[in-house]
Amino acid sequence: MAKADFYELLGVSKTADEKELKSAFRKMAMKYHPDKNPDDKEAEKKFKEINEAYETLKDPQKRAAYDRFGHAAFEQGGMGGGGPFGGGGQGFGQGGFSDIFEDIFGEMMGGGRGRRSSGGRERGADLRYNMEISLEEAYAGKTAQIRVPTTISCDVCSGSGAKPGTKPTTCPTCQGAGRVRAAQGFFSIERTCPTCQGRGQTITDPCTKCHGHGRIQEERSLSVNIPAGIEDGTRIRLTGEGEAGLRGGPSGDLYIFMSVKPHQFFQREGADLYCSVPVSMTTAALGGKFDVTTLDGTKSRVTIPEGTQTGKQFRLKGKGMPIMRSNQTGDLYIQIMIETPQKLTKRQRELLQEFDQISSKENNPESSGFFAKMKEFFE
Ligand SMILES: [Zn+2]
Ligand SMILES: [Zn+2]
């Protein structure tokens, strides 16, 4: 199948400058990113193509070669299908992404997926931990103990992978550089050393505990401080608590994704809480009092005056949720819902009918004459 034109893929003209390329790539990459298109093979393919196109065009040398020879510039040499430049767009999930990719998705993907530095050091993966708490817990805040399965640096070899008392030796292929250079067609290219996979050293005597990996699997216990007032969807980042890096690379981060369970009685809107309270028709008409238990465990008295209508709100100041990292709190709104009596007895029905007969327009100013007013409006 013929490969799509790199300029067309990015939707730019052949004369597009660096800035235009970057912004076009950003837009396209956002659109086709696998995280946004789960299980969509087409999108994934497109995403790789876009990445490859950008990898090529952002480099003036590669762009010039592409402009002159088209895709053929990268296909000769037959290096395992990767072309002489390797990587470009081929290594999804294993590095090889452009810097801009890191810019855009660095945060989202936890940054540094496959980011390598010299000596084969590699940043550890970020971990995600989903935690669900109740609204009461979100109100009060808490310290939660969690157990996180992760990999940590091997304590026996201090992460080097070499048996204690021995040392990794300098890789004979790359002399420790981790990269090798080779001439390929009219380009001189550099790639990761095949002997040491870029680490620059080889281990002749591997550590028996970690078998030369330098990392071991472990379950760690962490305490996480959840601030009072935390909102649903908040992400808490614990820097350096992710997986250990490879060969002395930095650890990844641990992200705690917080979700707050819906509450039976309170609905939250920002820092304010809403509570629907059903009130009998007679209480609403005659007036009355009731107590609501608030999230701090205390009771608050609500007095409703006679003639209270459904939907009426009463504000309990400062009885809402705490606002994170402040001394303020939201309010609690009590919303009155008037309950119409059901399953009337004969006697109740008689009383209500009698009540209705002696009711006046002043008793029901909204409903009296409503349909007459409506008719008038439309005629
Ligand atoms: Zn070890
Ligand atoms: Zn090497």
119: CA distance to ligand 1 center in Å? Answer: 18
Q: What is the pLDDT of residue 107?
A: 34
Q: What pLDDT, on a 0 to 100 scale, did the predictor assign at position 302?
A: 95
Compute, in angstroms, the gap from residue 5 CA to the centroid of ligand 1.
48
pLDDT at 74: 66
Distance 96 CA to ligand 1 centre (A): 28
pLDDT tens, position by position, 153-185? 888 988 888 888 888 888 888 888 888 887 766
Among candidates 254, 250, 253, 244, which has minimal Cα distance to 117? Answer: 250
Nearest listed ligand to the Cα of residue 213: 1
In the chain, which stretches have pLDDT less than 50?
A: 76-118
Query: What is residue 278's predicted lDDT score, i.e. its pLDDT?
Result: 96
Distance 190 CA to ligand 2 centre (A): 12
pLDDT tens-place string over residues 231-271: 999 999 999 888 888 767 888 899 999 999 999 999 999 99
pLDDT at 119: 56
Return contacts of 84-91, CB within 8 angstroms, 24+ apart.
84/184, 84/185, 84/187, 84/189, 85/55, 85/56, 85/187, 85/189, 86/189, 86/191, 87/55, 88/51, 88/52, 88/55, 88/56, 89/48, 89/49, 89/50, 89/51, 89/52, 89/53, 89/55, 90/48, 90/52
Q: Note the ligand closest to the C-alpha atom of 160.
A: 1
**Rounded to an integer, what distance in angstroms lies between the CA atom of residue 9 and that of residue 378?**
57
Beta-carbon neighbours within 5 Å of ion ligand 2: 171, 173-174, 193, 195-196
Res 57: pLDDT: 87
Given this model, what pLDDT does residue 95 score?
31
